[in-house]
Amino acid sequence: MTFAATVLTLYPEMFPGPLGISLAGRGLREGLWSMEAIQIRDFATDRHRSVDDTPAGGGAGMVMRVDVLAAALDGVAPGRPILAMTPRGRPLTQDRVRALAEGPGAVILCGRFEGIDERLFEARAIEQVSIGDYILSGGEMAALTLLDACIRLIPGVMGAPSSGMDESFETGLLEYPQYTRPVEWEGRTIPEVLRSGDHAKIEAWRRAQAENDTRLRRPDLWERHEGARVQSPSGARRRKQDDVK
């Protein structure tokens, strides 16, 4: 099964964009995933190819029309989840990315202007997704971000299979610090444990660093991680042992 991405956008020339180079681009050329960018204006019915209109009730800006967007969505082959990139959506998580990457692909709707007529979400099964608490000029950059996160998990796209697992968020923690040559730079050296060759000590050091960085930098992630550990039977036993110590 090939991961198939269909993007509905006013700017199809933005795709595949950066997804057409590096590992993602090679995967695209090798047929590991596919992409289609569809011009929303092609589904407008007036001579001006209008896709937006003034907000009901007044206000600044323009709103994307429900009839045009519905026609665009209805013209796409069914069977894949439909996602709309919007700051009003649920935050994108690595768990959701992995679930999407393991599926048949996704249809992604890129919003523009002041947003999308709410009736579209009432009438169609659309998952609203946000990539962060900030505003972009449109959903295209967010769609590229979502697709990049998914594509790198497709088997064969990345090099070593473990590369996709040993990273931030995959284990509920931020990734540990990374180093490479030269051993010494401006008086700073690579931690001795990483040069020891003792894989058990290296693994323990990396785990401790990941936990410490997560606790200090992302207390929200640390709280969820600790909660999940306590809820598991093995985690509960570890916590009890820690308390005894």
Can you tell me the distance from the alpha carbon of 72 to that of 67, in angstroms, rounded to the nearest whole number?
A: 9
Q: Residue 226: its pLDDT value, please?
A: 93
> Could you tell me which residues come within 8 angstroms of residue 49 by beta carbon, excluding any fewer than 6 positions away?
41, 42
Q: Is the pLDDT of residue 235 over 70?
A: no
Say what the pLDDT of residue 123 is. Answer: 98
Residue 245: the pLDDT is: 40
pLDDT of the residue at 168: 65
- Whole-angstrom Cα distance, residue 73 to residue 40? 9
Residue 8: CB partners within 8 Å, gap ≥ 6?
38, 40, 69, 72, 73, 76, 107, 108, 109, 110
Question: In DSSP terms, which residues pair with 127 in a beta bridge?
Answer: 83
Q: 183-215 pLDDT, tens per residue?
A: 999 999 999 999 999 999 999 999 999 999 999
pTM of the model: 0.87
Give the pLDDT score at 231: 79
* 3-class secondary structure, 127: strand
pLDDT exceeds 60 at position 156? yes
> What's residue 170's pLDDT?
77
Query: Average pLDDT over the chain, rounded to whole?
Result: 92
Burial group, residue 146, by CB count within 10 angstroms (0-12, 13-18, 19+): buried
Check residue 230 and give its pLDDT: 80
Model pLDDT for residues 137-148, shown as the tens digit of each residue: 999 999 999 999
pLDDT in tens, 53-87: 999 999 999 999 999 999 999 999 999 999 999 99
Which residue matches tokens 């042992």? Answer: 241
CA distances from 206 to 48, 170, 175, 179, 188 (A): 59, 15, 8, 12, 18
Residues 157-188 pLDDT 10s: 997 654 555 666 778 899 999 999 999 999 99
CA–CA distance, 228 with 236 (Å, rounded to integer): 10
At 174 the three-state DSSP class reads: coil
Of 66, 3, 83, which Cα lies nearest the Cα of 36? 3
Q: What is the pLDDT of residues 79-136, one digit of tens each?
A: 999 999 999 999 999 999 999 999 999 999 999 999 999 999 999 999 999 999 999 9
